[in-house]
Amino acid sequence: MSEAREVEIKTRNLGVTFQDNEGNDVAALTGVNLEIMKGEFIALLGPSGCGKTTLLRSIADLQKPTEGDVHIQGMTPKEVRLQKKFGFVFQQPVLFDWRTVKKNVELPMEIMGYSKGERSDRADEMLEMVGLKDFAKHYPKQLSGGMQQRANIARAFGLDPDILLMDEPFSALDEFTKEKLHEDLLRIWRATNKTILFVTHNIQEGVFLSDRVCVLSPHPGRLSAIVDIDLQRPRSLEVKETAHFNELVAKVRGSFEGGSVS
């Protein structure tokens, strides 16, 4: 599948070292070499403290690497960011309480100087896509957690970014809402053909969504395995019942060093 596709993101020997309060160096991430294709859905999977969020933040230019580098479309993360090619979805829906749902979706477009009509049309389109059309005039506090996260995703897609970075976006939601959003996300991804990096600590979630699962291990944080997920597309929830899905889940689980993650 990947033969004719171009590389979108490339990390070379990427490492991030923090200083703790006593001034000691703590390696959050070391020696990550990763190539991500255009239009690929990548899951970054691992237990807490394995550096998966750090990797995501390094790609997004939110974190300066202390070692190695990141190239995106032949540019630095900063250049890509300044060209506004990133979308970012946080774990918590970072919505602005004083703006309606629609105005929240419009915010990045306001910052980028879209015209009023263009903003409004595009926001309507995005809200329709995530199924929040009827809630455009509501305020975030009036929505459930799942709906807030939908609004958050609508905002990330609003700018039509090349690369969508998602940091455990569904981890605070209940299972039913989560499954619904998984299907929606795959549908939107297929329709828009974005490159998606999806951080998660849930093996099933990673396997179900992605083309490849990148397994990270802690102490120090590093990329320990990459598992190809050759489940057919488009996927529906039924795929979770198949033997192959369970094999892949088992394979990913087995790739954790020491098998310490359940």
Residues of this chain that interact with other proteins (CB under 8 A) are 23, 60-62, 64-65, 69, 71, 76, 81-82, 84, 86-88, 90, 92, 94, 96-100, 107-108, 110-112, 138-139, 141-142, 159
Q: How far is the CB of 141 from other proteins (least distance, A)?
A: 5
Residue 154 tokens, joined = 């609508």
Question: Nearer to other proteins by C-beta: 101 or 127?
Answer: 101
Question: Nearer to other proteins by C-beta: 88 or 256?
Answer: 88
- Half-sphere exposure at residue 32, Cβ-oriented, CA atoms within 13 angstroms: 39
Burial of 170 (0-12, 13-18, 19+ CB in 10 A): buried
Q: How far is the CB of 226 from other proteins (least distance, A)?
A: 23
Q: How far is the CB of 110 from other proteins (least distance, A)?
A: 7
From CA 114, how far away is CA 126, in angstroms rounded? 15
Q: How far is the CB of 86 from other proteins (least distance, A)?
A: 5
Question: Nearer to other proteins by C-beta: 90 or 201?
Answer: 90
Question: Nearer to other proteins by C-beta: 8 or 211?
Answer: 8
From CA 165, how far away is CA 103, in angstroms rounded? 22
Cβ neighbours, 10 Å, residue 160: 13
Q: How far is the CB of 169 from other proteins (least distance, A)?
A: 12
| Whole-Å CA distances, 176 to 43, 103, 183 | 20, 27, 11
From CA 82, how far away is CA 92, in angstroms rounded? 24
Could you write out the DSSP letters of every residue in 204-262? Answer: HHHHHH-SEEEEEETTTTEEEEEEE----SS--GGGGGSHHHHHHHHHHHHTSGGG---
Q: How far is the CB of 21 from other proteins (least distance, A)?
A: 9
Q: How far is the CB of 57 from other proteins (least distance, A)?
A: 8
Long-range Cβ contact pairs of 240-244 (< 8 A, separation 24 or more) = 240/204, 240/208
Question: Nearer to other proteins by C-beta: 21 or 232?
Answer: 21
Question: Nearer to other proteins by C-beta: 143 or 188?
Answer: 143
Question: Nearer to other proteins by C-beta: 92 or 255?
Answer: 92
| Whole-Å CA distances, 51 to 16, 59, 181, 247 | 9, 12, 25, 26
